[in-house]
């Protein structure tokens, strides 16, 4: 029942699939990756340790989607930006996942999601984003963010993969961009220092005893 309801939501929101794959530009660290028209893709595109797949929706031809990564020591921020759109209602979805082949995959989690909306301070335009756990509708709805300007933040996540379903409503020409930001935290377990074995303690004791004996002889 939940699956059928989720599919009904997607259909009612106007998502249409396409068989053509997303065209992925070559990706290098610190470089923005820009996609043209977004269509359905099983393989998806990758930026650092993030895989963006399952693109589907009714964004018009020529819509620019850019993906940026700001890497830190333990916290990374990944942003998906939707560029200029004409007047209309646009619904699209995609999956953002941590690459399971990443060496420390077990310690990486998406912990915060935010929705930013820039409409030059003019009211009327808006964006709504639904966040599903596990990268599927069956994973369950975690939160719904709505923004008509500024940033709306959802916290308290700990997910390897998320399904994003987003609707952007443009009623006037002031729309500039929508930004989806994903904060990733890497929590590595510190390696404990090795505990000296009894033999090691014995050697240390013999060494200290030798130093004491040598000092006494010198003083004598």
**Fold classification of 2-194 (topology level):** Jelly Rolls (2.60.120)
Task: Please report where in the chains the tokens 């639904």 appear, as a residue.
Answer: 130
| Mean of pLDDT values over 21-29 | 41
Q: Is the pLDDT of residue 33 over 50?
A: no
- List strands edge to edge, sheet with 161-170: 45-47, 50-57, 88-98, 161-170, 126-133, 141-147
Domain boundaries, the chain: 2-194
Tokens of 54: 């399952």
Q: What per-residue confidence (pLDDT) applies to 37?
A: 42
User: Does the predicted model carry a pTM greater than 0.85?
Assistant: no
pLDDT of 161 above 70:
yes
Among 71, 65, 66, residue whose Cα is nearest residue 30:
71
What pLDDT, on the 0 to 100 scale, is given for residue 74? 80
E strand or H helix at 130: strand 126-133
Alpha-carbon distances, residue 163 vs 52, 85, 92, 137 (angstroms):
10, 22, 11, 7
Report pLDDT for 128.
Answer: 95
List CB contacts of 63: < 8 A, sequence separation 6 or more: 36, 37, 38, 82, 83, 85
Is residue 62 predicted with pLDDT exceeding 80? no
Helices (H), the chain: 2-12, 198-219
């Amino acid at each position: 029942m939940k699956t059928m309801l989720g599919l009904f939501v997607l259909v009612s929101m106007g998502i249409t699939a396409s068989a053509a794959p997303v065209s992925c530009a070559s990706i290098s660290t610190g470089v923005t990756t820009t996609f043209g028209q977004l269509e359905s893709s099983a393989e998806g595109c990758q930026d650092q340790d993030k895989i963006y797949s399952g693109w589907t929706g009714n964004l018009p031809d020529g819509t620019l989607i850019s993906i940026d990564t700001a890497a830190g020591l333990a916290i990374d921020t990944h942003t998906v930006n939707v560029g200029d759109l004409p007047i209309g209602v646009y619904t699209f979805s995609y999956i953002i996942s941590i690459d399971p082949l990443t060496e420390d995959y077990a310690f990486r989690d998406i912990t915060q999601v935010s929705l930013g909306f820039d409409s030059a301070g003019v009211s009327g335009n808006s964006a709504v984003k639904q966040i599903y756990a596990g990268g599927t509708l069956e994973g369950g709805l975690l939160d719904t963010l709505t923004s008509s300007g500024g940033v709306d933040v959802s916290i308290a996540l700990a997910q390897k993969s998320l399904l994003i379903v987003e609707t952007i409503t443009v009623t006037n020409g002031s729309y500039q961009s929508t930004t989806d930001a994903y904060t990733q935290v890497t929590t590595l377990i510190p390696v404990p220092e090795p505990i000296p074995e009894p033999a090691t303690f014995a050697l240390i004791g013999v060494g200290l005893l030798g130093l004491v004996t040598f000092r006494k002889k010198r003083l004598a």
